[in-house]
Amino acid sequence: MARRIVPRLTTVGRAETPQMMKCRLAPEHSLTPTLSQRARERTCSASFIVILLGLLLVSLAGCRNESPIYTVPFQAFGDSADLRLLGVERDVAEVVSGEIRRQLELMQEAWYSPRSLPLARLNAGLASGEPFVAPPSLLPLLLLSQQLADRSGGLFNPAQGGLVKLWGFDGDKSTCGPPPKPQQITRLLDAAPCMADIRIDGLEVVCANPAVRINLAGIAKGYAIDVAIEALREQGVRDAMLRIGDDQRAIGDRAGKPWRIAVRRPSGSAVYGIIEIGGDESVFTVGDYECNFLHEGRTFHYLIDPRTGYPGDRSRAVTVVHREAATADAAARALFVAGPERWRVVAASMGVDHVLLFDKAGAVHMSPAMAKRIERLDEEEVIISPPILAAEATDGPG
């Protein structure tokens, strides 16, 4: 007999820093949004849980290996997306996926869109140099971004949003180019904006560097996937996968078998291998094929090296496996910039041990953990690194 899951009122469970806990406990600055006029700023979303509670009457089939997988496609964060639910009735799967899609749209508008009002408020406050109360919907991402930026040695640096804007990669992909003038890049690099310039005390934020401009593109999609998956799991969904573009997080399994994730070649047009994941894991890939433009015979892509101000030129693509999608999102970008010489040290510092990196010269690099997981579709030579140990991080990730 199918087991019915009883919905219960919960909040999305996530590890919290003391600052995040202050934000969550302050009633006048709740982190969860409503569908009122303030929904654009408060997106991480009590309405999602409330509506989900009313609609999510999930029936798990008595025999899991006979449970159907319902896949509902949609668009999110400017890319194709889909939600796969195992053992959920078709009508419920459609309603749940529709609600997730709507919430992803709200999160995209608040955290990712160049027209984001919360981001505009945040950046205006940072530029003022005066203490201000930040939009509560952004505080968890801001705190997590500080942690990941520090662990990456600054190779993941959301504070360099001015540089991203200068290159034109903060809007529609079709608007990118031409490259900025060298003196414009130098001016921003000399200002050295970094996440450490931002001080957060509860809800109050102040910044000592007016050149800091936050761009959350390197973490927003991963964090949104984490929020959606955690909400599903809080309601008793055991087996699901949410994909946005080349990035996904899966929980449970696929009717008793692992979820199978295809990893592209650096060209973006063919499959290099298959990674099996299960339990609770994320797979994130970045590549120079994703968002780029051609200018005077040269291709410029969106993965900017914060040390040089230009697109990273040592890597073609990076794939990372990690439990948290937000960490995988940020780490993939940092490792791409680190390149073949430094990726192991940066991976160790960020707590990532499953890495696949294609370098600019055409070589393929893997950590031992990744080599054991990936099913390659050809026999080309691969460079297997020594094990990634936390001790390696003592050399410094930068």
Beta bridge partners of 295: 298
pLDDT surpasses 80 at 364 = yes
* pLDDT tens digits, one per residue of 249-308: 999 999 899 999 999 999 877 899 999 998 999 999 999 988 888 888 888 889 999 999
Which of residues 175 and 88 earns the better pLDDT score?
88
147-180, pLDDT tens digit by residue?
999 999 999 999 999 999 999 888 655 556 789 9
Instruction: Give the residue extent of every domain in the chain.
Output: 3-110, 117-207, 258-395
Rounded Cα gap, residues 8 and 11, in angstroms: 10
Record the pTM: 0.82
Q: Residue 31's pLDDT is what?
A: 32
pLDDT of 67 reads 64
- Could you give the strand order of the β-sheet that contains 374-376, starting from the edge strand earlier in sequence? 259-264, 271-277, 374-376
What pLDDT does residue 172 have? Answer: 54
Query: Which position has the higher pLDDT, 95 or 319?
Result: 319
Instruction: Give per-residue pLDDT as tens, 33-80.
Output: 333 333 344 444 444 444 444 444 333 333 344 568 889 899 899 899
pLDDT tens for residues 7-24? Answer: 332 333 334 443 443 333
Question: Are 106 and 39 a contacting pair, CB within 8 Å?
Answer: yes
Quote the pLDDT of residue 72: 87
Amino acid sitting at position 243: R
Percent of the chain at pLDDT > 90 equals: 62
Quick one: the chain helix, strand, coil %, rounded to 5?
40, 25, 35
C-alpha dihedral over 184, 190, 195, 199, to 10 degrees?
-120
| Range 117-207 classified under CATH 1.10.3980.10 | yes
Average pLDDT over residues 95-111: 89
Tens-place pLDDT, residues 210-260? 999 999 999 999 999 999 999 898 777 889 999 999 999 999 999 899 999
Residue predicted with more confidence, 96 or 331: 331
- Give me the pLDDT at residue 43, please: 42
The token pair at 126 is 């940072």
Q: Which residue has the higher pLDDT, 90 or 40?
A: 90
Query: What is the rounded distance in angstroms from the CA atom of residue 225 to the CA atom of residue 82?
Result: 11
Could you read off the pLDDT of 367-395 as tens digits, one per residue?
999 999 999 998 889 999 999 875 454 55
- Predicted local confidence at residue 179, as pLDDT: 92
The reported pLDDT for the residue numbered 390 is 52
E strand or H helix that includes residue 83: strand 79-86
Handedness of CA 20, 21, 22, 27 (dihedral sign): positive
What percentage of the chain has pLDDT greater than the value 70? 79
Give the pLDDT confidence score for residue 34 in this predicted structure.
33
Beta strands 3-4; 59-60: pairing state: antiparallel
CATH, domain range 258-395: 3.10.520.10
